[in-house]
Structure 1
């Protein structure tokens, strides 16, 4: 009896001992994990952390510092199925997979780590704080991996970083504002992650050439600073952006080439400022909640190659000016409520243009919405001029209308100069007092009267009517009347007998000529002077030549292209 009891006691003792040992070992394992993780925390490792290795193993202190950062990064990797970082051992960091070394731009004799490219390595892990010690890198490419967590604030030390690609990973948290402090950054790619919250307005004030934020969880309105961005490509699709498309978008004219805002919750009417985007080739606002009609003036988008407005609530007529854009190749307007389409926008009208007009309210078109659905939707009127995201242009349009009213004021003025020529013919019909007011001196009035009879015998020799105005205009014309007025004081009485005087007064004109002693030349010149005032034919002014207005030339599109690694940063690639 005693032996079985002793055996049971011994078994219980062994079982308890085993359990105690396993719990201790498990606790020790947890402690080692916690200790390992604590090594990557910023409060345990300083920015100038240096491993306890001989400095003589590295070419310079920069490479030793890079070695410490890369080893800390490798220790934070949980999974590397393709063994991409398997050779991250030893002190020759320039031989590590994905690590690029080059001569420092500020010192040709110094070799530094200039970039890290781990694209498509399928690595799982997080970014340790020590990466901030890679202060000489100009590119960091981590596309298509499984990195998680947040972007460390130590990235503020990457003052030379030109390209940052964190796309297609599992990063979380708000927009990493640390990137806004990178002075040389031009390419920012954060797409296909789990970033959330609002976009900082400073993002579009930064000198970036490409901004990719699509397929995240951003939830806010698009900042009004959008129009200040110098970027040529902006992609904000597949998020939860709400509100209006900022009217400041017109400020990107001449710079923006691609704007993609599809799959969001943007609403309201499109601002007319989009017509200023004369260099834009891709305009995609599909699958939002935009409404109303398309803005006027879209014919100014001369560089457009692709327009996508599908899946919205647009209505009214599709402007024919869109389909006639010279470079347009694709126009998608399906799933809206358009009720009129110009024949030129028909899918078969232009051979080189693809038009998708399905699921609209277009009569005599196939694959359209149900008639009842269209009637209900079109019965709800949308006034885009009532401050519905299109206020700036609509308010300025009526302002030019008042100014046209003042222009009528100048119109009465032109007739005033016209009466001036009318009195000129008045002297012709034997009205001595009438010519006196037209000419400041009373003497010129009788002058035309004496000339009128003379032309009767001499109309045939020189009927030069077009020279009617050239002679009175010059100064010598008024000089002649004074001489005539002094000599013909007697003629006024015969003036009453207008019919006989014509032959009698033909001789008097020669004496008033400038040279009375020379009879031969005198008759030739007076004939021109006499025939001019005598002609009763209507005078016709020469037609005015219309001024030609040359439309301003389109500013050349500025397509900012990302520079290559060596040309944009000044680095010369180093091959170890």
Structure 2
């Protein structure tokens, strides 16, 4: 009996071994295919910062649908890879990213290619205010016709892939109010047509490349990051009309070359560690409307050349160590609406620098050393400081004057996204309307500034440009980048917004030749795709709206948010390693 059982057991084992023997090839093939697919996928998702997509890049499509052209097929590959790199999409903005019709995807906009009007290409992406968590995969470098890339107010983290250098038609690049890390993304310097660059409210760090200001940008927003370099001397070569360095760790002096910035309308240095004396060349900026160097370590006197800034509307030099007198020439500037010089050591001012009853001008002279003025510093403290000699060569900078109990509220400060509290924004006077402009809904503040020329006719439609404010005399080209704010005073001394700026009903892919002009296109709105709602430089409406405010903080003028969009727990290093994901990386900000 036992012998029979043993024979049955041997027979069963033989059958199992025989089955495994014949099944092994198919099992091996199956494992190999899965493994190969996995390795291919991981190769793409683990490209280091300086790696590129391989020239022989291939991707196996998972659908049987056909595509109208090869460019839309590559766009499908890129967008599907991006969808896989998204871990949280609370508004389901990418829910319909299915199938071959990429032009119907939410936030994806197509237009005829400039080099071949007979084919459609993906020319714009707008996922603003999506609260999406994820990262940017290198496959996005396949979107070679992309001209506009707007993803502000999300939770994207990691680095800007080097494959973005292939997006040579990029015109407007807005990744503000996210959690990107690493050094300044050098890929932006490889875009010959780029005009609008918005990196604010991230965790970029390190030095600013001097070549940034040799490119023909119209607007550059670097504020509220962790940049800690000198202001490059090349700033004098810049074509920008608006630039913001605010709330970083820039140090040193303001270069004298600043006086060569002939297009400049607004420049913001507040909340850094700059120092030394004012270069008198600032008086050459005849188109300047907003100048803010508050909360630094500047010393010495205000140069007399400032009285030549005939278009100046807002001047803020508060929270420094300035001294001397405030001249009548400065206070009598014809367009000056708000002059804040509080928390310094000025000991003399002209009577015209004191606002008269019913005046629309706002002068804030508190916490100085002025005789017969309210809320001034202690006389002994003033005497001690004013006895010291001024060293203009000391560009170490620093924080605001010692002993300042609190910082005044930043007139430009407003939260970059609806998730945060924002202080009152500045009043904006809309510029002269162009032929294509329409009234925009109140209230506003301007974020993105104007772009002065449409992109050259290359391979994808150029983005829209807003005409610059009145002081700038360049004609308004058809591009939808929001203009810089033009401020006007309010009787209360607070800068509140009342109107919208430079919104236009034209679609972003329209050009002066009418190649991409449509009356019902995806970017056309009747209320202005760049109409703004609050805070300077912020917009919310429209497919390509820029929503963040450059100088928003949650605790006032001097506090730079260190945790709002901090990427310190997001394990996506900028120099090495693959793109890893953690719960910290994708958790929503509180």
TM range (shorter): 0.5 to 0.7
Q: CA deviation at 1:159?
A: 1.1
Who is 1:139 aligned against? Answer: 148
Q: Which residue of 1 aligns with 2:221?
A: 212
Do the aligned partners of 1:49 and 1:68 also contact (CA within 8 Å) in 2?
Answer: no
Q: How does 1:11-30 map to 2 (within 5 A)?
A: none
- TM-superposition CA deviations, 1:175-207 (whole Å, max 9, x none): 001110101100000000000000000000100
Aligned partner (choices 169, 172, 176) of residue 160 of structure 1: 169
- The answer on 1:181 being equivalent to 2:190 is yes
2:292 pairs with one of 284, 287, 290: 284
Residues 44 and 371 (structure 1 numbering): CA distance in 2 closer, same or farther, change over 3 Å?
A: closer
Shift in Å at residue 349 of structure 1?
6.7
Match of 2:372 among 364, 367, 380: 364
Q: Contact 1:343/1:349 (CA < 8 Å) preserved in 2?
A: no
Instruction: Tell me the CA shift for residue 108 of structure 1.
Output: 1.0
Q: Distance in 2 between matches of 1:206 and 1:286?
A: 27
SS for the counterpart of 1:101 is strand
Please report how far the alpha carbon of residue 561 of structure 1 lies from its aligned counterpart in structure 2 after TM superposition. Answer: 5.9
Q: Does 2:128 match 1:123?
A: no
Give, in angstroms, the shift of residue 129 of structure 1.
Answer: 0.3
Residue 280 of structure 2 is aligned to residue 337 of structure 1: no
C-alpha contact 1:204 1:228 (8 A) present in aligned 2? yes
Q: Which residues of 2 match residues 1-400 of structure 1 at below 5 A?
A: 37-42=42-47, 46=54, 48-52=57-61, 57-253=66-262, 255-348=263-356, 351-382=359-390, 384=392
> Does the 8 Å contact 1:226/1:248 carry over to 2?
yes
Measure, in 1, the Cα distance between the counterparts of 2:235 and 2:358: 35
Change (3 A) 1:561 1:369: farther
Q: More helix per residue: 1 or 2? A: 1
1:57 Cα deviation from its structure 2 partner: 1.4
The 1:383/1:38 distance shift into structure 2, 3 A limit, reads: closer
1:32 & 1:135 partners in 2: Cα distance?
25
Structure 2 partner of 1:474: none
Separation of aligned partners in 2, 1:337 and 1:351: 25
Tell me the residue number matched to 2:509: 566
Contact 1:243 1:267 in 2 (8 A): yes
1:52 CA displacement: 2.9
> How far apart in 1 are the matches of 2:471 and 2:138?
44
1:7-26 CA distance string (max 9 Å, x none): xxxxxxxxxxxxxxxxxxxx
- Contact persistence 2:65–2:100 (CA under 8 A): no
For these two proteins, the number of residue pairs brought into alignment is: 380
Report the 3-state secondary structure (helix = DSSP H, G, I; strand = E; otherwise coil) of the residue aligned with 2:156. strand
Please list the CA deviations of residues 25-66 of structure 1 after superposition, one character each: whole Å capped at 9, or x if unmatched. Answer: xxxxxx999986544234796464333357861111111110
Equivalent pair of 2:134/2:157 in contact (CA under 8 Å): yes
Gap regions ≥5 residues in structure 1: 1-30, 390-554
1:320 and 1:342 in contact (8 A); partners too: yes
8 Å contact kept, 1:244–1:267: yes
Q: Is the 8 A contact 2:511 2:517 kept in 1?
A: no
- Report if aligned partners of 1:232, 1:560 keep a CA contact under 8 Å in 2: no
Write out per-residue CA displacement over residues 55-109 of structure 1, whole angstroms, 9 at most, x where no aligned residue: 8611111111100000000001111111111111111101110000111111110
CA distance in 1: counterparts of 2:521 and 2:260, whole angstroms: 44
Written as runs of structure 1 = structure 2, the 5 A alignment for 1:406-555 is: none
CA separation of 1:39/1:154 partners in 2, compared to 1, >3 Å: closer, same or farther? closer
When normalised by structure 1's length, the TM-score is: 0.62
Q: CA RMSD in A?
A: 2.7
- Partners of 2:38 and 2:373 lie apart in 1 by 67
CA 1:190–1:159 in structure 2 vs 1: closer, same or farther (change >3 Å)? same
Query: Greater RCO between the two (CA within 8 Å, min separation 6)?
Result: 2
Distance 1:572 1:75, change over 3 A: farther
Contact kept? 1:38, 1:44, Cα under 8 Å: no
Q: Secondary structure at the match of 1:225?
A: helix
Return closer, same or farther for 1:299/1:560 CA change in 2, 3 Å cut-off: farther
CA distance in 1, matches of 2:169, 2:71: 14
Contact between 1:316 and 1:338, CA under 8 Å: does it hold in 2? yes
Distance 1:226 1:45 in 2: 33
Q: State whether residues 317 and 341 of structure 2, in contact with CA within 8 Å, keep that contact through their aligned partners in structure 1.
A: yes
**2:302 and 2:368 mapped to 1: Cα distance?**
15
Task: Please state how far the C-alpha of 1:381 moved relative to its aligned partner.
Answer: 1.9
Structure-2 separation of matches of 1:369 and 1:234: 33
CA contact under 8 A between 2:324 and 2:348: conserved in structure 1?
Answer: yes
The structural deviation recorded for 1:571 is 3.7
Q: CA deviation at 1:352?
A: 1.9
Q: In the aligned structure 1, how far is the partner of 2:39 from the partner of 2:325?
A: 66
C-alpha distance in 1 between matches for 2:357 and 2:384: 30
Residues 58 and 215 of structure 1: CA distance in aligned 2, closer, same or farther (over 3 Å): same
Question: Alpha-carbon deviations, 1:231-260, whole Å to 9, x = none?
Answer: 00011100000000000001013x100001
TM-score (normalizing by structure 2): 0.61
Distance 2:224 2:294 in 1: 15
